[in-house]
């Protein structure tokens, strides 16, 4: 019997991925939500958010492939145990994320935000520069995206520290791990980049107690999830000039409400969750490869460990 796959997402992406699947795996039956002709036949689903009542509507569902790198939006606790959940490991996301992080590390490093302010008062003032090797970039989260960013920043000559839940060894990265080494890591970080997944352990991790461990003058880039950062604590540390700048791409409420103080703060740059966008071509290829693995009973790439939440 043919395997049915259901895609829930926009038409242009549907058209691209349907064509890629038709080409690579012609025996598969592709369906585009909400026009589902045979619900009981659906075995695989590709989605960012899950349709309501999917557990009842698709009783033969075996695997959910997230369209994004994160899976917190799927509310894992409600996904039945027999359904496997897979993260999107798209080289296009990794490239976009590395570019965004490198762009803003360089903006911080080269004083772009100070020069934008100086422009508004026609002030000609040359700021002191620091060698790249003297700027310590601390990457929280050393998965696929953290490693790609570390590599890009290392190639730009920065000094790279990395922190992960479990110990890792990576070329060009001074690795720290576990809560017991978090303080050591933070106290040696001039630009903190958070790329952590959202889990019970990472929720609210970046608050006064952790952010104040960063050296005076440090900056923060959050591209993980908004819930990891207590923004009121961040704002206080910026106001006290303990921290210099924050570039925030993710928020606990998105879109960020107009009234949120982050919009107004002169040393905060808000971007609307655009650091890394799933790229149709590269992500489509990753999906085709993974579905092929499923069909040939090989382990799936990016399979989520329910106990860890990512």
The residue ranges that bind ligand GLV (CB under 6 A) are: 68-70, 93, 278
Query: DSSP per residue over 246-260, as a string?
Result: EEE---SSSSPPTT-
Closest CA to 146 of 165, 126, 122, 127: 165
Q: Which residue is nearest to ligand GLV (CB)?
A: 68
Structure tokens at 139: 């990457």
Choice among 32, 273, 292, 293 that is catalytic: 273
Q: Identify the residue whose tokens are 């026009």.
A: 35
SS3 159: strand
- Min CB(215)–ligand GLV separation in Å: 29
Closer by beta carbon to ligand GLV, 112 or else 279:
279
Nearer to ligand GLV, 7 or 185 (CB): 7
Structure tokens at 29: 């039956």
Q: What residue ranges in the chain does DSSP mark as E strands? A: 4-8, 29-32, 42-47, 63-66, 84-86, 136-140, 159-164, 174-177, 191-194, 218-222, 243-248, 268-270
> Residues with Cβ < 8 Å from 234, sequence gap 6 or more?
206, 211, 220, 243, 246
Smallest separation, CB 158 to ligand GLV (Å): 24
| Minimum gap (Å) between residue 273 Cβ and ligand GLV | 6
Per the residue annotation, which of 104, 165, 225, 265 is the catalytic one? 225
3-class DSSP state of 134? helix
- Tell me whether residue 142 or residue 186 sits nearer to ligand GLV (CB atom): 142
Residue nearer to ligand GLV on the CB measure, 142 or 214: 142
Report CA 262 to chain centroid distance, whole Å: 20
85 CB-near residues (< 8 Å, 6+ apart) = 63, 64, 66, 71, 74, 76, 79, 303, 304, 306
Contact 127, 111 (CB under 8 A): yes
Strand partners, 30: 5
Whose CA is closest to 44, among 27, 24, 29, 26? Answer: 29
Tell me how far, at minimum, the Cβ of 165 lies from ligand GLV, in Å: 18
Catalytic annotation on 174?
no
- Closer to ligand GLV at the Cβ: 69 or 248? 69
Encoding tokens for residue 216? 């005076």
Closest contact distance (angstroms) between CB of 84 and ligand GLV is 18
Asked if the peptide bond before residue 255 counts as cis, ω within 30 degrees of 0, the response is: yes
Q: Judged by CB, which is closer to ligand GLV: 69, or 193?
A: 69
Smallest separation (angstroms) from ligand GLV to the CB of 86: 13
Active site residues: 225, 273
């Amino acid at each position: 019997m043919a395997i049915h796959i259901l895609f829930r997402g926009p038409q242009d992406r549907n058209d691209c991925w349907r064509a890629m699947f038709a080409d690579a795996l012609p025996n598969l039956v592709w369906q585009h939500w909400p026009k589902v002709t045979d619900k009981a036949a659906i075995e695989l689903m590709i989605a960012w958010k899950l349709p309501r009542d999917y557990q009842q509507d698709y009783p033969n569902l075996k695997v959910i492939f997230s369209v994004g790198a994160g899976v917190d939006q799927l509310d894992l606790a409600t996904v039945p145990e027999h359904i496997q959940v897979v993260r999107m490991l798209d080289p296009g996301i990794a490239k976009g994320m590395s570019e965004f992080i490198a762009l803003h590390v360089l903006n911080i490093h080269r004083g772009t935000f100070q020069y934008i302010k100086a422009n508004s008062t026609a002030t000609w003032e040359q700021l002191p520069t620091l060698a790249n090797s003297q700027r310590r970039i601390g990457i929280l989260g050393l998965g696929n995206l953290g490693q790609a960013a570390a590599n890009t920043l290392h190639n730009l000559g920065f000094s790279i520290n990395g922190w992960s839940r479990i110990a890792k060894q990576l070329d060009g990265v001074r690795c720290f791990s576990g809560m017991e080494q978090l303080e050591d890591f933070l106290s040696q970080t001039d630009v903190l980049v958070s790329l952590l997944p959202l889990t019970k352990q990472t929720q609210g991790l970046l608050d006064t107690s952790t952010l104040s461990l960063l050296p005076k003058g440090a900056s923060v880039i959050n591209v993980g999830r908004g819930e990891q950062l207590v923004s009121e604590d961040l704002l206080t540390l910026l106001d006290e000039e303990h921290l210099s700048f924050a570039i925030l791409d993710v928020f606990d409420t998105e879109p960020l409400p107009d009234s949120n103080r982050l919009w107004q703060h002169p040393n905060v740059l808000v971007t609307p969750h655009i650091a890394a966008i799933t790229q149709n071509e590269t992500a489509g290829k990753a999906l085709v490869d993974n579905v092929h693995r499923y069909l040939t009973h090989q382990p799936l790439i990016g399979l989520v460990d329910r106990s860890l939440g990512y």
